[in-house]
Structure 1
Amino acid sequence: MKRLKRAVRACALLLATLATVGIAAHGTAEAAAKKSFKLAYTVYIGFMPFSYMKSSGIMKKWADKYGIDVDLILANDYVGSVNQFIAGEIDAVGVASMDGLTMPAAGGVDTSVFLITDYSNGNDIVLSKTAKDVKELSGQEVYLLQYSVSHYLLNRALQKAGVDPAGVKTVNISDSEISAAFVSQDAMKHAVSWKPLTEDMLKVKGATKLFDSSGIPGEIMDVFIGKTETLKDNPDFAKAVLGAWYEALGILKAGGPKAEEMRAVMTSAMGTDAGGLQSQLDTTHFFYTPADAYAFLTAAENAKIWDSIRTFCFAQGLFGQGASSVDAIGIETADGTVLGDKNNIKMRINASFTKLAADGKL
């Protein structure tokens, strides 16, 4: 899954501004009348059930129930899909929760999480050819995609080990280059990345996993976001998506012939094999039921997670030059807690649709 790079922030903020102006100019009448919606997702294990939802007709069945059309789009470019969302070209997009905060929300787009799919439970890894403990990274260079969840994972690993993150130099490298470079370049000793990229990296002689996302359960969330106004004016869109999602997840959890069919679709969409798919499933915590998802979203711990995320993002300058403090952007969690400016809430965790699903009211 391609994660956020600083190089795209200026473009993202510009598109966010244009999108906001467009909304103000057209008002809410057009949004209220929508019957066709576009949802984009990229190749990542937490989003792959959408490929089955499309090919099996499950998404169409739920969309038909609400008298709407929902087009599921497998996007080639992660950042590009987020920019399309900001510009209003698509209605919802799958993101790492941190990117939802630093791109559309930080850019001024009132954004709501309406579905949580999973959290990384070992998919994201800090690894080294020479170090055997996170503490040994002090004073060293660590290669990663800067300002991404890899960067966040490294910071959290260092904090937990009692190491000042400022004492470690991060070196930016793209997700398309990091695996081959770690394998072939002796000078690259330490790195942070995610599956499946890390599978070859861990095969390098001496390579050791120092820390992974299972050490910070729930902090690297994968979610689907929509513009708050769109979801308010068109609740049937979110209901249809969640209805289809939990039907698909129920098939995957139950096992049997249908689950094998679903696994085959996911495997093909990811360009991997059965073993590769299982490896990623093993280190991904899916919320298989809406009740589990709702409990996670409304727990007091969820607000603490968002506080950790926003603190990292502000420290890295990802709120933009106009942000004078970590409180510049308001985040409203599902339990009603507001972090930051209550008059500038741009990220909202909306668990109402998950609650409807849990109560069997979709």
Structure 2
Amino acid sequence: MKFSKSSVSKLLLAAAFCTATFAMPAQAAPKKEFNVAWSIYVGWMPWPYADQAGIVKKWADKYGIKIKVTQINDYVESINQYTAGKFDGVVMTNMDALTIPAAGGVDTTAVIIGDYSNGNDGVVLKNAKTLGAIKGQSVNLVEFSVSHYLLARGLSSVGLAEKDIKTVNTSDADIVSAYKAAGTTALVTWNPQLSEINAEPTATMVFDSSKIPGEIIDTMSVNTKTLKDNPALGKALVGIWFETLKLMQDPVKGKAAREAMAKLSGSSIASFEGQLKTTKMFYTPAEAVNFTSDPKLVKTMDLVSGFSFDHGLLGQGVASKDAIGIAFPGGATLGDKKNIKLRFDASFMKLAADGKL
């Protein structure tokens, strides 16, 4: 999803803030109150529903803590605020976790792998039917986001490169209206905006994330130090998540839950159900653990690191794509082992899979 040029200054400020904030003793007193941020996307709608339905309170109470679930309308801004220390956790993609907080020096742990986009992100052309027709066009998208990553992967599949197009940085909040402008001929976006644009008679989706399965991953990520000092937060978040996903599949209560999520996202139930079909949700903790522990994730993050380095997203003066270390379950690492700033942790999901929460 989302990282724009306009966020660079905020990121630099956030990095400076966090350098000061986290220069503290290794062990802090356990916290009792936490705040996590979410923004609208089909794979993240279980969070506000869980809050509304009392599931958040149930699991927070179990571990003697309080969890506030806060909506931020602008996705990039939610990550910037997390990076600046205003939130303990935030929903974000694997790439954005690397290029914003991790690149900004904030050690971050993906404690929940909720799903991957399996058609929820797409390249759309106006009055053209094949991706090759994009050559020479201006493409509206959130620059340096997973939309940009998807575009690069798509271009390479038809023998094109980014030099063959021009990108136009466009907020996710403005992408639908941008498509309707006469001068717009190509764009890249995600659901629910993608569904709305695809409903236009002139629109053809010529490439989507189902062509690169498992590469655009949606997470709930938290500050690593906060998680270390407060493992109850990780346990509660995982408990909340998988209870809510189990409810979504209940033959009696599931439809009402999905209808509520659709309403919270501003979508019709038909549109929301359609978006779920193009999202590979990990409905059980065992599925999520298996995905997170699969060596393929290391290969995916190597691709993501390469794209991020090529576009200058890993920081000023960074010499290679391996400058930021990434840790995976089982002890595998990618990049600089002395500079681990992004971690994929399956341990809390494993507790859920084993019935030990």
Band of TM-score, shorter chain? over 0.9
Question: How far off its partner does 1:218 sit?
Answer: 1.1
The question of 1:215 aligning with 2:215 is answered no
- Report the equivalent of 2:308: 313
Structure 2, unaligned runs of 5 or more: none
* Contact 1:142/1:168 (8 A) holds in 2: yes
Structure 1 stretches of 4+ moved >6 Å:
none
- Report the equivalent of 1:105: 102
The question of 1:242 aligning with 2:238 is answered yes
Question: How far off its partner does 1:98 sit?
Answer: 1.0
> TM-score scaled to structure 1, two decimals?
0.93
> TM-score scaled to structure 2, two decimals?
0.95
* Contact 2:195/2:271 (8 A) holds in 1: no
Change (3 A) 1:76 1:209: closer
Pick from 40, 55, 59 the counterpart of residue 56 of structure 2.
59
Question: How far off its partner does 1:351 sit?
Answer: 1.1
Which digits, 9 at most, give the CA deviation of each residue in 1:96-151, with x for residues without a partner? 22111111100111111111111111111111124322223233332222111111
- Report the equivalent of 1:172: 169
- One-letter code of the match for 1:37? F
The DSSP-based 3-state class of the residue aligned with 1:254 is coil
Pick from 71, 82, 85 the counterpart of residue 79 of structure 2.
82
* Contact 1:92/1:227 (8 A) holds in 2: yes
Count of residue correspondences? 357
- One-letter code of the match for 1:190? A
Change (3 A) 1:260 1:243: same
- One-letter code of the match for 1:74? Q
Question: Whole-Å Cα distance in 1 between the matches of residues 136 and 329 of structure 2?
Answer: 39
The DSSP-based 3-state class of the residue aligned with 1:223 is strand
The question of 1:289 aligning with 2:284 is answered yes
Which digits, 9 at most, give the CA deviation of each residue in 1:296-338, with x for residues without a partner? 1111111111111111111111112121111111111224321
Question: Whole-Å Cα distance in 1 between the matches of residues 83 and 146 of structure 2?
Answer: 20
The DSSP-based 3-state class of the residue aligned with 2:272 is helix
Deviates more, 1:77-86 or 1:352-361: 77-86
Question: How far off its partner does 1:29 sit?
Answer: 4.4
Question: Whole-Å Cα distance in 1 between the matches of residues 268 and 196 of structure 2?
Answer: 15
* Contact 1:300/1:335 (8 A) holds in 2: no
- Report the equivalent of 1:190: 186
Aligned runs of 1:207-286 on 2, under 5 Å? 207-256=203-252, 258-286=253-281
Calculate percent identity across the aligned residue pairs.
45
The DSSP-based 3-state class of the residue aligned with 2:172 is coil
Question: Whole-Å Cα distance in 1 between the matches of residues 113 and 143 of structure 2?
Answer: 24
The DSSP-based 3-state class of the residue aligned with 1:325 is coil
Structure 1, unaligned runs of 5 or more: none
- Report the equivalent of 1:348: 343
